[in-house]
């Protein structure tokens, strides 16, 4: 019973964490953009503008709910719901810290420690594109439909290279479980990170993560200069909020997956020495803070790239995915397999 209560508490904590990170990511992005453009950014809602996400949320809720007369009402509502639910589901297999003991039983600091965790994440992320496609099609708006087609084409194209880069990591770690992948990087006093063994795989995965989250320079599905607002052109109020929140939650979880696959997850230099001199709960909390620091760094990197690099043309986007990243990921996988075979 204690373990069940702990898991329920963990689910609620992850839900609140994801929502909070998504809300303050909007604020942080505007602040980063302001700094890079020599502006101040939002600073009127509360001290230093820290209540701006709350003001934005209230504004979203208070907006009028609009259902286009020619839209498919059920699917129009279902689209943003699918995007939001799939974005939240992916966090279930992320290991947030080492095991702790509760009532004499060791429990994992992850909702579900399944042995195919990385396949689960890829599957859930793949379902997310249905939310965008359904929403764009159900709007009965040509610009929304074009944005949805672009989003689905882009995600399908870049998922292949992303999957190939993950296969190389699976080959080096010998497991599909994210928990085992993170634990396997605890060698060398917590510094045996996969990015040392898979630098090319990391670069491919990082580029694909930008494409999967529709972030600049891969934001063609919602490019205002061409498609008004893209797949969410006809949306307003909290349905639009769900699409925007889902994008930021996906960015948060992409950063978490990058940290776990390539940067040791909650492992940090000389963690074995820290573990020997601290209690179990305190050590788990330190590991959680280390993982969150890595995640926040990659979220900042998403912001940095957005306000630095212009978006691609669509033909350039397709060429990068199919003619550059996919062959590179296959070559990386073959090189990894060859090295493993020679070392046996």
What is the pLDDT at residue 225?
Answer: 67
Q: Are 315 and 321 in contact (CB under 8 A)?
A: no
Give the Cα separation of 162 and 179 in Å (integer): 20
pTM: 0.89
Give the Cα separation of 155 and 88 in Å (integer): 18
Q: Are 157 and 321 in contact (CB under 8 A)?
A: yes
Tell me the average pLDDT across 28-32: 89
Tell me the average pLDDT across 39-44: 86
Tell me the average pLDDT across 64-81: 83
pLDDT class of 256 with cuts at 50, 70, 90 = very high
Tell me the average pLDDT across 31-58: 86
Query: What's the pLDDT tens digit per position in 109-134?
Result: 888 888 888 899 988 888 888 888 88
pLDDT class of 191 with cuts at 50, 70, 90 = confident
Average pLDDT, the chain: 87
pLDDT at residue 279 greater than cutoff 90: no
| Nearest to 230, CA basis, from 149, 109, 119 | 149
Give the Cα separation of 51 and 35 in Å (integer): 19
């Amino acid at each position: 019973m204690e373990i069940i209560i702990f898991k329920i508490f963990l689910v609620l904590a992850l839900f609140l964490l994801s929502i909070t990170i998504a809300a303050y990511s909007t604020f942080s992005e505007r602040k980063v953009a302001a700094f890079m453009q020599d502006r101040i950014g939002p600073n009127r809602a509360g001290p230093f503008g820290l209540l701006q996400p709350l003001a934005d949320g209230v504004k979203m809720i208070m907006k009028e709910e609009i259902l286009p007369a020619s839209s498919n009402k059920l699917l129009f509502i279902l689209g943003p719901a699918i995007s939001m639910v799939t974005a939240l589901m992916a966090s279930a297999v992320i290991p947030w810290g080492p095991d702790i003991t509760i009532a004499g039983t060791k429990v994992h600091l992850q909702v579900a420690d399944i042995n195919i965790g990385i396949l689960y994440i890829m599957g859930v992320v793949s379902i997310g594109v249905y939310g965008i496609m359904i929403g764009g099609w159900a709007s009965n708006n040509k610009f929304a439909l074009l944005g949805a087609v672009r989003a689905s084409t882009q995600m399908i194209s870049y998922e292949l290279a992303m999957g190939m880069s993950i296969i190389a990591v699976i080959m080096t770690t010998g497991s599909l479980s994210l928990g085992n992948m993170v634990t396997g990087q605890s060698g060398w006093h917590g510094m045996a990170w996969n990015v040392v063994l898979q630098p090319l795989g990391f670069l491919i995965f990082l580029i694909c993560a930008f494409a999967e989250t529709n972030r600049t320079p891969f934001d063609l599905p919602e490019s205002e200069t061409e498609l008004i607002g893209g797949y969410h052109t006809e949306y307003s109020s909290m349905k639009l909020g769900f699409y925007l929140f889902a994008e930021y939650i996906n960015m948060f979880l992409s950063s978490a997956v990058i940290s776990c696959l390539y940067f040791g997850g909650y492992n940090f230099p000389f963690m074995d020495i820290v573990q020997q001199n601290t209690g179990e709960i305190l050590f788990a909390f330190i590991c959680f803070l280390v993982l969150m620091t890595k995640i926040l760094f990659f979220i900042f990197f998403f912001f940095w790239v957005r306000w630095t690099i212009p978006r691609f043309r669509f033909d350039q986007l397709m060429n990068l995915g199919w003619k550059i990243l996919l062959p590179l990921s296959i070559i990386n996988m073959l090189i990894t397999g060859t090295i493993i075979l020679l070392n046996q």
